[in-house]
């Protein structure tokens, strides 16, 4: 949190930038109010940079367009029906919206758009008080009708009006609240948390796409575990991502096993730390895979003779469940496929830790992971959450060794692009066959040889192929 004086100075500097000053002066000269609103004002107090600037004004959309067009490098009116005109002013993207006082019908989260007549009224219809502050321009006067600055200082998320009314109007705000706890490090105030729990089922009127977008933003935040706990504790997760609260398996005195819910959140925290230490940007695929990697456990939980608990094939089932859920949330196909691959493979490493893998097994590990290998490295490491320090050290050493072997084989054999020594054209020429299933069968035979024995060279591969073909033809 920046000191108030520093934040005001930052806001003043932003308002005094030449393009924003020209914009503010142009609106004032035309007799219209203009104010910087929402996120950019909040972020000035948090010491965060903003290049996407939101403004509110007393001007109508047509009047906004007439005032902005001569100043902008580019402009667009795709949001005109909602009162919004967008423009690019140098390095800044701005959206300028007519004051709003929308009305909700209670059946959908889409309001009947109604234009308002005051900045204060516009601010009170926003989601949280910390986003309901504005800086009037060109005067540079802070407007805070609902105590947003006080809530910023207290790191508190509170709605400008009664939370039951706010969330009843737009249930997506409940998901945004969970997301802001992760993005900003703030906490829901008690009344806001209670209203979220009471109105959680209202989330059903929000489209799957918008739910998926909010979950994405939450997962890409600095600490998504905080927001996930809010979703679970308020009951929202039961409706938008029910596989996560289902991980809270009952642990009885006769069948002890790790708390799968807490394990998954700990693994997510560890994966994010590894993501950073290995030089990666926030990775949605990785974070989804880690969060969901054990969702097959509830359905596969079995108590074995002697009281041990097993979860056989939870990796396979988990990949299927994740695919289904992510499709319902409208994630793109590439993301879904990558997440499912990681979940399906997340147990593979533990076989290496327990036994000594051959080079062929290492090659198959790399081949099966494909483009997801680096993510699989992080997931496998993050999946170790045991408090047994000796076991944790053994597993870490085993994975260090596995990565070293992969690196060595990659250098020797171009492991990242494992292919047979002969391609399809060469196979057809050698065997004198036309395109068809037999070519694929021969290709797979050579690929297995490549995985088992490493590079053979074209001559040896041809000899082995001819011998295999002769044996096959004699059957």
- Percent of the chain whose pLDDT exceeds 90: 58
Least confident of 208-222, 254-268, 294-308: 254-268
CATH code, domain with 19: 3.30.460.10
Lowest model confidence (mean pLDDT) among 185-189, 350-354, 398-402:
350-354
Q: Average pLDDT, stretch 260-267?
A: 95
- Reply yes or no on whether the pLDDT at 1 is more than 70: no
Same domain, 293 and 222: no
Domain assignment of residue 443, given as a range:
424-473
- 60 lies in the same domain as 81: yes
Residue 67 lies in a domain: yes
User: What CA dihedral angle connects 175, 179, 184 and 188, to 10 degrees?
Assistant: 40
Q: Please report whether residue 237 resides in a domain.
A: yes
- Provide the whole-model pTM: 0.83
355 and 312 in a common domain: yes
145-149, 442-446, 466-470: range with highest mean pLDDT: 145-149
In a shared domain, residues 131 and 182 = no
311 vs 216, which has greater pLDDT?
A: 216
Looking at the predicted structure, is the pLDDT value of residue 67 above 70?
yes
| Residue 409 pLDDT exceeds 90 | no
Give the total number of structural domains in the chain: 4
Whether residues 315 and 378 fall in one domain: yes
Of 154, 185, 204, the residue at which a domain comes to its end is: 154
- 111-142 pLDDT, tens digit each: 666 788 899 999 999 999 999 999 999 998 99
């Amino acid at each position: 949190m920046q000191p108030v004086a520093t934040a005001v100075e930052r806001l003043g500097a932003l308002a005094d930038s030449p393009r924003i000053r020209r914009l503010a002066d142009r609106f004032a000269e035309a007799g219209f109010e203009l104010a910087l609103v929402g996120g950019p004002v909040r972020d000035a107090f948090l010491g965060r940079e903003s290049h996407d600037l939101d403004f509110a004004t007393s001007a109508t959309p047509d009047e906004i367009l007439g005032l902005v067009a001569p100043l902008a490098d580019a402009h667009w009116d795709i949001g005109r029906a909602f009162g919004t005109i967008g423009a690019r002013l140098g390095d800044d993207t701005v959206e300028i919206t007519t004051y709003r006082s929308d009305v909700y019908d209670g059946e959908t989260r889409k309001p009947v758009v109604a234009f308002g007549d005051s900045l204060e009224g516009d601010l009170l219809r926003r989601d949280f008080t910390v986003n309901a502050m504005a800086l009037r321009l060109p005067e540079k006067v802070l407007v805070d009708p609902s105590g947003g600055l006080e809530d910023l200082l207290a790191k508190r998320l509170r709605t400008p009006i009664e939370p039951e009314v706010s969330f009843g109007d737009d249930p997506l705000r409940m998901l945004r609240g969970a997301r802001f706890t992760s993005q900003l490090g703030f906490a829901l105030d008690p009344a806001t948390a209670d209203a979220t729990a009471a109105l959680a089922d209202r989330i059903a009127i929000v489209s799957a796409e918008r739910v998926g977008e909010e979950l994405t933003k939450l997962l890409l935040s600095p600490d998504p575990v905080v927001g996930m706990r809010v979703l679970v504790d308020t009951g929202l997760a039961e409706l938008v991502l029910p596989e996560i609260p289902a991980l809270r398996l009952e642990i009885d005195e006769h069948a002890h096993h790790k708390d799968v819910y807490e394990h998954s959140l700990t693994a997510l925290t560890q994966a994010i730390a590894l993501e950073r230490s290995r030089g990666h940007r926030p990775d949605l695929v990785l974070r989804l895979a880690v969060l969901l990697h054990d969702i097959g456990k509830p359905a596969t939980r079995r108590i074995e003779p002697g009281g041990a608990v097993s979860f056989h094939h939870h990796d396979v089932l988990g990949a299927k469940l994740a695919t289904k859920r992510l499709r319902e949330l409208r994630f793109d196909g590439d993301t879904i496929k990558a997440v499912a691959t990681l979940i399906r493979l997340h147990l593979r490493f533990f076989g290496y830790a327990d036994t000594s893998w051959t080079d062929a097994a290492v090659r198959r590990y790399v081949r099966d992971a494909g483009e997801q290998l680096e993510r699989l490295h992080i997931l496998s490491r993050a999946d170790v959450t045991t408090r047994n320090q000796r076991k944790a050290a053994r597993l870490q050493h085993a994975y260090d060794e596995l990565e070293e072997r992969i690196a060595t084989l990659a250098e020797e054999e171009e492991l990242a692009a494992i292919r047979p020594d002969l391609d399809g054209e060469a196979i057809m020429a050698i065997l004198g066959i036309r395109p068809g299933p037999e070519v694929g069968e021969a290709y797979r035979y050579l690929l297995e040889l490549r995985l088992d024995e490493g590079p053979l060279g074209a001559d040896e591969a041809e000899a082995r192929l001819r011998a295999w073909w002769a044996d096959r033809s004699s059957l």
